[in-house]
Structure 1
Amino acid sequence: MVIKGVMHQTGAGNDFKPANQSHDLGNDDQAFWAMAAMSAAENKFPNPPKDDPQWLELVQAVFNEQAADWNKRKDTCGGGMMWQIFEYNNGFGYKNTISNGCFFNMGARLAAYTGNKTYADWAEKAFDWTHDIGLITHEWQFLDGTYTTSNLNCTKMNPLRWSYNAGVFLNGAAAMYRFTNESDLWKERLQNIANGLRDVFFNDQGIMNEITCEPAQTCNNDQQTFKAHTSRWMAATIKQAPFLTDQLMPLLRNSSIAAAKQCSGPGNACGLEWTKEDQYDGINGPGEQMAALQVFLSNLIKTAKPPADSETGDSRGDPSAGTSSNQPTIKPPATITQKDKAGAVILTIIMVVATIFGTVWVSMG
């Protein structure tokens, strides 16, 4: 069921761009499917039928397309991913943190899986751009995005903060830490991101809180899932950067206990405001259930195997996937100049189910 559900979304180009989503498909939406496929490859989830594109190949297709899109838009703000893929969609003139974080995450994890430094170079470029443009603050907080319209050229920031922006960069930084053989640079960045995540999105009792919408109960369907993704990325980080275990595991444990207390609605439905503990918040839906289930499963990470790579994994790749060329490698990123620096979800149930099944698969393995 999971394999069929994910493969149904691949589209004619085997790049998670189904034609029926062209009017609302963002770079982040496309990347979330690719990251689900990346998790499948890392966790040695059963492969699709051999005549279909494989997990790794799907990720490479999305990454190659987005790398080409970066180069196509680099005259605006010196780089960075637009939120929307197609120019006719609302939000095209917005470069948001989650789209750039997903691109960074894919590049870092592809580098760790394949050993190909070109992916790591792109990941480094995406991280540096996000930091230099101001979406990663000096306090290691992640702002929502920046505007390119009205000649703003990324000089105006949207200050809203969401947990999954920090989470996607945390997980990507962990992959870079692994790829660089535990370099001091990525260890420091990992620690700073983890500190910022803890300080902003966890209360004094170590319980996760989606601060921008939870207190006012204004979280939309997408935002109700953010804690699910953040929990998973925190757990995946622990597996790749064990030095953060003592910091992150208590946060996951305390959040899971509080989430369990919130599962006191009709039929044990789970609420979203874990900080209320056993005072049910009266709000339930797929996002709330996903968030609770994922934080529960994240506590099993110590029993999981490390993410697979090209030597230990079994997913077939195609470095030229998603390109019009038959060249076997992606193009390296252009050098960032001083001029560049100066210029510088819609999510579906199937995708999240794939993520959850991946976690269960790992814990059972």
Structure 2
Amino acid sequence: MTDKTGGVFQFNDAYGCPVQRVHGYSRDDLADGIGRVLPWMRTRLVMSYARVMDSVRRELGLVPRGSGIQEWILPPLGGDGRRVKADVRQWALRRGFVAPEHSDRLDSNLMADIVYAVLHDLGIEVCRVVTMYWEVIINLDDDVIENGRLSPAYPATIQTIIASGRLPDDPDPYQIAFRDLREEIRGLNGDWMLPLFAQCVATSLTGWLREQQWRLDGAFPSFDDYLTYATDNGLIEGALLLSRLTPGGIPRSITAPTELVHLERVTGTLCRLTNDAVGALREARQGSASVFVVIMNQYGLSPVQSATFLIGVIDSMLITHASLGALVRRSPAHQPYAQRHVDLADRMLCGAYAWELSTIRQEATDSLAPVPILDPT
């Protein structure tokens, strides 16, 4: 799987820019290796997630994917969920951060679908706010960050908008959308939450700014840096914070137990790494500097070895996730609201896994079955 002439190959990032070369492995080598190990990865993920998935999949309403292995996908949206999706779609088009000619994004990305599956019992208002948050930040990523146009000042600007409501002199559609989101949170008596949420979003955008710089420089982060980026990605942490807007959530006067803070961050990291594993073949075919390339670069591994390495990391983090949840559930000092937050973290973890398998971004392969790795090179 190396260049038989002794040369090395060049990867391209999402902008088509050249990036560093990785131990003689070409883009085709990476896609070939990931393609061979993908059935094993997907089978192993099912096994790794089995305990937590069995505990929440009925509550989420997940349905079998119908592939050769027992994977689960999001259910069709019911009436309230469809209403949330329609409301947020109209808002996104009205604010202009999604152009009418790209409105299919709002159908295919299934944001309302995962939010409603995970948070349906928290009420339609909370589902709407979380869906608004995910739509605006996901489209910001697709439109601005993946095109290398996020300015260093942008995270602080968004933080100010959420915390104070003050817009810059010439706001863009995303900035106006974040102010709308602020007003929705205030309408749910969430003024107390705004500084926390503003910091969460700013931290997420700062991480994406680092990712943008890696792409522009053609440099690979270390695996530690990549994990930090994955942990700071505020999609999951922000959604769990917004879940506190509903009665029965962690009260505003209470500082969340340390174990819950760690649990939220582990949940977000697991969602990121599981997304990497499920979407691995697509990323490899694009030549993106994905987590697999990061692992190859740092540890000198082959594409197949990088995949087995990643599954080992996911397995270890799932054990940590379960241990943190068990600590909260067993402690008499933690009130029912904290235990409910553990349930939401479990649901978010499995809902995100099901979302990854449901979206059109992933490989539409229906014939995956367990296979051994015969050549771990």
Give the structure-1-normalised TM-score: 0.34
Give the structure-2-normalised TM-score: 0.33
Between Structure 1 and Structure 2, the one with more helix by share is: 2
Q: Which has the larger radius of gyration?
A: 2
| Greater length-normalized contact order (CA 8 Å, ≥ 6 residues apart) | 2
